[in-house]
Amino acid sequence: MTSLKRPQGSDQLSQNISNKVYVRSTRSGKVQKIVREVYLRTDIPCSSNLCRACLSQAPRNAVNQALPFVLSARPAGTKSYPQGHYLVPDTNALLNAMDLFEQSSSFYDVIILQTVLEELKNRSLPLYNRLVGLTKSEDKRFYVFFNEFRLETYVNREANETVNDRNDRAVRQAVKWYGEHLALTKAARVPAVVMLSDDRENLRKAREQGLQASSLADYVSELEDGDRLLDMIAESQLQAQGGFKPSTQPLYPEYYTSSRMMTGVKAGLLHQGIFNVSPYNYLEGSIKVPAFPKPLLILGRENINRSIDGDVVVVELLPQDQWKSPSTKIIEEDTITKNENADTEERQDFISDKERKALQEEVKRTQKATGENQLQPTAKVVGVVKRNWRQYVGHIDPSTASKAPSQGRRLDSVFLIPMDKKIPKIRLRTRQVSELLGKRLLVTVDSWDRDSRHPVGHLVRSLGELETKAAATEALLLEWDVQYRPFPKTVLDCLPKEGHDWRVPESKEDPGWRDREDLRDLLICSIDPPGCQDIDDALHARLLPNGNYEVGVHIADVSHFVKPANAMDTEASIRGTTVYLVDKRIDMLPMLLGTDLCSLKPYVERFAFTVIWELDENADIVNVRFTKSVIKSREAFSYEQAQLRIDDASQQDDLTKGMRMLLMLSKKLKKKRMDAGALSLSSPEIKVHMESESSDPIDVKTKELLDTNSLVEEFMLFANVSVAAKIYEAFPQTAILRRHAAPPKTNFDELADQLRIKRGLELRTDSSKALADSLDKCVDPKEPFFNTLVRIMATRCMMSAEYFCSGTQAYPEFRHYGLASEIYTHFTSPIRRYADLLAHRQLAAAIGYEAVHPSVRSRGRLEAVCKNINVRHRNAQMAGRASIAYYVGQALKGKVAEEEAFVMKIFSNGFVVLVPRFGIEGLIRLRDLAEPEPESEYDAETYTLTTKGERSVRVELFQKVVVRVHDDKDERTGKRGVKMELVSA
Amino acid sequence: MAQQTLLSPAELAYLHSSLSLSPPIRPDGRTSKQFRPLTAETGILPGTNGSARVCLADGTEAIVGVKAEIEKTADPLGDDGERYREGEWLEMTVEIPGLRDDDAGTVFLAELLREALLADGELAKKLWINRRFHWRLYLDILLISPPLSYPLPLLSLTTHLALLATRLPRLKSEGDEDPMFDDDWEAAPFLYPRQGGAAAAGSRPSITLLVVAVGDSILFDPSKEELAVADSALAVSLCEVRRERGQSSMEVDSGRELRLVAMRTIDPPSRLTPPGVPSTANLAASGTADVPLQQKQQQTSDEVPQEGVWKAPLGGTPFAVLDSIIQAVLEKGGVADEVLDGLEGVDLA
């Protein structure tokens, strides 16, 4: 019998074939034995420009060209490697110090092994993407060497060898091969091949084998600006070298094993969700889980157990006798842990006395508290499924920096206070404290071990002086993860060649005219905020002979310029939306398109996507059609100009008449919408006036709303609804829609209770109509702003609207709660929102204008896009708000204003007020009222806070107070912010 | 599983009488307890958890592949029905060229093998992971040559080898958690460990031997022709239980204890063979027709068996024959020992 097995090593070719056998566990719980055959080759080049041998046999493409070699023939040298060197980092080195590799001062000629690249991909996708970006950049000379496919560098996993050990061995094997291979070139100066690793065992073994190996720290310290670079190495590695004093006992409970968590979550014993920290109390977090209507509370450092805002965690419910109601006290990390020393870690310090006291009072209050219904289930974190750590912006707490003048380059431990209050202090070690003090810094968190009270991180870079506009803007863009780098060349290559000279083709034979309607004779105009450059939409209306109205909404035809799945499309889908800051706009699409070719500027012909309705006298739809078109806008109005023109009775031209028709119809549409139960919600909208020259803000105004604002808004909503219905009809599974889920009733519990007790008003939440009606009734005759205040508070109880792919939800779930529309999408702003661009493509396919592109049809891809743009959309809003807050602060600089304010939220040791004029909220603590802090009594039943002693005031919810607003620089943190003081209650 | 042998009644009678001799004379010259030589190898199918291939000298060849899949135990709390369900943790298909997979013979063969494997109740214990999960084994048994003789012993031995070569991923999780496994295949333990003290103790997968009785002779591993004249055929399943080495270190034997786990009679094809006609009654031979045809037929059926005239065997197996078969199988240094020793020598890759 001849064996059926593949003979080992008997014939010439067999050594080119190897097997990998491993066990794969799939997500669905299947366990499979996987056998992979590996075909090894000898023609994978080393890519060093020194090497002739590889060049002659490197694989060639169809035009018989080999890829150009990457690694320099004369790489830079260091003290230890004067002959020049190539770097071969292992996975840990990249995980710990990716920022180093992105430096432009050093780290050139790096060999990235395939083993390392794949391992990195499994460990951290963001880092992997950054590395891939690096390997693509030509000047950094990063070369990906496919060592797993090269005969000499392939290693088989040995018995009882862990994957890590095997990979480390593969790295060493590759380093060894490179060394021997380069020696064969007989060059005058053969560069050293240096393995960079943070793994001591790996370093030791490498040295044993006679390879050049160095730890990151050793290597970096020899570089020119070593001290600066050393700060970029992740803390974990330094710790291994005896960085922080390790505390004797672990401070935090250990996490469960992942299998235990999975089992628990599946069985419903544990719950998984995203961890959110309360913005007022850093020791209180909440997590929303499907099993409970109310979010679970997580109280105290031990229960929070090293989770950071945004992490996906698994929690275990605490027994019912430990259930609490959410805190009514403001607890801020900087005040409580003010005097901590970043160097010492003492056990008794784990829950500091102050923290304990704060919690104690909490418990006392709870026990006094009334009904069971107030209590919320509490839980503790037992494990983290996924860390969502990003890079954080913050500044060094100067009080933790050593007072003594820094002698030379001492390694100091300092605390970094993140800008985001929900993020705990981050400990970092640096040699350049004196330079970093008073700067905005970007840091990453490396780890949070059981025995460390605070997470440890390392510096990425400095953004500049605190309080400079550039640093502030960049900080908030980074905080909200807004992609603000200039568009890469690949994206710009997708723009039309003609640039700004692009015109609508004259000849109607041109392919651009195919299936386009010529609407250039219509009297179309656009109405936008003053100074708007990216004009998405334009309108027209005219009376038809049959007495009905024809109304057209014309949207910039962005999909004509942005073809699916090219570089520009990919970039736009990643950016998701244009971000508007007070003085800056971060575009989703390159300027050329956004402000010129797509923008429906007046007096020029532009491609558009048009929705045309025939409406009767009651603004009911008789007929609707969609078409690609060519239009010529007659005028671009600002809201104010449009309003003046409509109101000016002397204007009797057709354009103005059209606008009046639009206004009349829009009012009817609005009425219908309101009758259906649409909510008119409020969030304070602020406008910052800038002095043009210096772009320093000079005044803050609340935005004024005109009839023309609502004119445009109504027709945009109208168009969106019509388009949504059409694309859903054409693509029942894959239409991109927008939904706004009805908020759970419990969300309104607190507000309803507050209104009932304080004002005797009833808030009905059974439907959006009931809510809208009851909100209308929430008026205080003496106080016109009260209604707005309630609306602002109601808005915060709502769910946020989201994009989704129609196949993922049932039809009743499509409903847009706020707009009271059965179906909704975004269609009208394709220049600044990616969702609209998708809707355009789908609509174009639905009317048979173009074929359906696969990317518009694949549900998986669309779901991923939706997920991304939902996040981007939210971040853009947040960044915009943060920018306004910053400028409000700047506008107030050096001024003191006494303003009316309203109490929005009450704690037992302070309260939050909203200043309508500036649209800002401020926290007033009792200890700010008088010195020493007045005694206080807080009645949670009636939401009243009464103080006695030094200063006696009585503050109630919804009360109007007068506050003094001024800007203030916290001496300790060097942070400038708006500060409010109570003048009179 | 009746394969027609193209032997005449006279040949059958001749074969029968030579096999009934003591010692029997077998057509291929083997002794009564001698197996046909076989060659075996394991691990031929890299994608399976375990596999084996066995070739018999007569050219029949079988391949067995074992795949394991994780499965949720339907009702983890019920203790009563447990045993019954465990029987379902092993799924078996037998494929024999030229036969449908729902052919009665094939189904019977599969059931015979399955029953033997599960009979000692040990396999189910090995498949148990925790109270909520277990492994489900899929055994695919393929005869890849035409069925020249009754393939039961071949398939059984191949299955035995494949199970010995079977490895299950190493469990990392504890208790009743959702199971998690080591990704290193090299670390995966054998379903039936061969080495390592206590671990190697315990039962081994059963083997099923085919034994025929011809006259007073008991023949192991019958060839196709021998089966065609067998008075009775028996499938004897036995399994080997390993004692811990430490206990029996004084003993000379390998610490093997044999257990009879199942026995089934098989309908030998000899029952369907046509009877021989004595030359006295043969018209064509004698040329005279002094007896009327009807009378003659009656005569033959009634007649006491005549020496040298083939007559299909009737009736069951006498107890004495059964007893001597069992003796022969379980005997120390007997056939089973010999077979198992042979299989022991196969390298488990």
Stretch among A444-458, A686-700, A946-960, B176-190 having the lowest mean pLDDT = A686-700
CB nearest to B169's CB, from A23, A158, A159: A23
Higher-scoring residue by pLDDT: A691, A504: A504
Residues of chain A neighbouring B178 (CB-CB closer than 8 A) = 29, 259, 262-263, 266
Average pLDDT, stretch B88-107?
A: 86
pLDDT band at A525 (very low <50, low <70, confident <90, very high): very high
Are the Cβ atoms of B188 and A23 closer than 8 angstroms? yes
Are the Cβ atoms of B70 and A31 closer than 8 angstroms? yes
Residues of chain B neighbouring A163 (CB-CB closer than 8 A) = 183-184
Residues of chain A neighbouring B49 (CB-CB closer than 8 A) = 33
Are the Cβ atoms of B55 and A1 closer than 8 angstroms? yes
* In the predicted structure, residue B162 carries a pLDDT above the cut 90: yes
Task: Report the C-alpha gap between A335 and A613 in whole angstroms.
Answer: 60
**CA distances to A648, B142, B154 from B102, in Å:** 92, 14, 20
CB B55 within 8 A of CB B61: yes
CB nearest to A259's CB, from B47, B49, B173: B173
Are the Cβ atoms of B173 and A260 closer than 8 angstroms? yes
CB A91 within 8 A of CB A120: yes
Task: Report the C-alpha gap between A636 and A599 in whole angstroms.
Answer: 11
Measure in Å the smallest separation between the Cα of B169 and chain A Cα atoms. 7
CB nearest to A19's CB, from B46, B179, B188: B46
CA dihedral A43, A49, A52, A55 (to 10 degrees): 40
Starting at the earlier edge strand, list the strands of the sheet with B61-72: B38-42, B50-56, B61-72, B133-143, B90-95
CB nearest to A35's CB, from B39, B47, B349: B47
Measure in Å the smallest separation between the Cα of A122 and chain B Cα atoms. 15
A183-214 residue pLDDT tens = 888 888 888 999 999 888 899 999 999 898 98
Higher-scoring residue by pLDDT: B292, B131: B131
DSSP labels for B1-55? Answer: --PPP---HHHHHHHHHHHHSSS---TT---TTPPPPEEEEE---TTSSEEEEEE
CB nearest to A29's CB, from B46, B47, B178: B178
Find all residues with CB under 8 Å of A401, minimum gap 6, and list them.
A412, A414, A433, A434, A437
Q: Please, what are the domains in chain A? A: 52-240 (3.40.50.1010), 258-386 (2.40.50.690), 391-466 (2.40.50.700), 489-735+821-878 (no CATH), 894-984 (2.40.50.140)
Are the Cβ atoms of B177 and A258 closer than 8 angstroms? no
Measure in Å the smallest separation between the Cα of A260 and chain B Cα atoms. 6
Are the Cβ atoms of B41 and A260 closer than 8 angstroms? no
Q: Please, what are the domains in chain B? A: 9-275+310-344 (3.30.230.70)
A437-470 residue pLDDT tens = 888 888 888 888 888 888 888 888 888 887 788 8
- Per-residue confidence (pLDDT) for residue B85, from 0 to 100: 58
| pTM exceeds 0.90 for this model | no
- Per-residue confidence (pLDDT) for residue B121, from 0 to 100: 76
Measure in Å the smallest separation between the Cα of A745 and chain B Cα atoms. 36
Q: Which of A685, A703, A698 is closest to A881 using CA atoms?
A: A685
Task: Quote the ipTM score.
Answer: 0.77
B176 touches chain A (CB under 8 A): yes
Measure in Å the smallest separation between the Cα of B301 and chain A Cα atoms. 48
A625-673 residue pLDDT tens = 999 999 999 999 999 899 999 998 898 889 999 999 999 999 999 999 8
- Per-residue confidence (pLDDT) for residue B80, from 0 to 100: 46
Chain B residue closest in CA terms to A160:
B187
Are the Cβ atoms of A35 and B46 closer than 8 angstroms? yes
CB nearest to A4's CB, from B53, B178, B180: B53
B46 touches chain A (CB under 8 A): yes
DSSP H or E stretch at residue A981: strand A976-984
Chain B residue closest in CA terms to A22:
B185
Are the Cβ atoms of B169 and A163 closer than 8 angstroms? no
pLDDT band at A346 (very low <50, low <70, confident <90, very high): very low
* In the predicted structure, residue B48 carries a pLDDT above the cut 60: yes
Residues of chain A neighbouring B64 (CB-CB closer than 8 A) = none
Chain B residue closest in CA terms to A266:
B178
B59 touches chain A (CB under 8 A): no
**CA distances to A588, A740, A866 from A804, in Å:** 20, 10, 6
* In the predicted structure, residue A834 carries a pLDDT above the cut 90: yes
* In the predicted structure, residue A4 carries a pLDDT above the cut 60: yes
B290 touches chain A (CB under 8 A): no
- Per-residue confidence (pLDDT) for residue A824, from 0 to 100: 94
Are the Cβ atoms of B178 and A266 closer than 8 angstroms? yes
Higher-scoring residue by pLDDT: A7, A215: A215
DSSP labels for A296-355? Answer: EEEESHHHHTT--TT-EEEEEEPPGGG-BPPP-S-B-HHHHTTT--SS---GGGSS-HHH
Nearest 5°: CA angle at A688, between A683 and A690?
165
A375-421 residue pLDDT tens = 778 888 999 888 888 888 888 887 777 655 555 556 778 888 888 88
Chain B residue closest in CA terms to A158:
B186
Are the Cβ atoms of B41 and A5 closer than 8 angstroms? yes
Chain A residues with CB within 8 Å of chain B CB: 1, 3-5, 19, 21-25, 29-31, 33, 35, 157-163, 257-260, 262-263, 266
B260 touches chain A (CB under 8 A): no
- Six-digit token pair at B162? 């494949």
Chain A residue closest in CA terms to B52:
A4
Interface A-B: count of C-beta contacts within 8 A:
77
The percentage of residues in chain A with a pLDDT greater than 70, rounded to a whole number, is 88
CB A821 within 8 A of CB A742: no
- Per-residue confidence (pLDDT) for residue A555, from 0 to 100: 95
Task: Report the C-alpha gap between A289 and A291 in whole angstroms.
Answer: 5
* 3-class secondary-structure state, position B345: coil
B49 touches chain A (CB under 8 A): yes
Instruction: Find which of B45, B178, B181 to mutate to test the A interface (most A CBs within 10 Å of its CB).
Output: B178
Q: How far is CA A918 from the centre of its chain?
A: 26
DSSP labels for A710-755? Answer: HHHHHHHHHHHHHHHHHHHHH-TTT-EEEEBPPPPGGGGHHHHHHH
Residues of chain A neighbouring B187 (CB-CB closer than 8 A) = 160
Residues of chain A neighbouring B47 (CB-CB closer than 8 A) = 33, 35
Q: Residues A262-271, buried b or exposed e (16+ Cβ, 10 A)?
A: bbbbeeeebb
- Per-residue confidence (pLDDT) for residue A494, from 0 to 100: 86
Higher-scoring residue by pLDDT: A891, A956: A956
Instruction: Find which of A33, A34, A261, A314 to mutate to test the B interface (most B CBs within 10 Å of its CB).
Output: A33
Are the Cβ atoms of A29 and B49 closer than 8 angstroms? no
Helices (H), A137-277: 163-183, 200-208, 216-221, 226-230, 235-240, 258-267
B327 touches chain A (CB under 8 A): no
pLDDT band at B252 (very low <50, low <70, confident <90, very high): very low
CB nearest to A3's CB, from B41, B49, B176: B41
- Per-residue confidence (pLDDT) for residue A516, from 0 to 100: 92
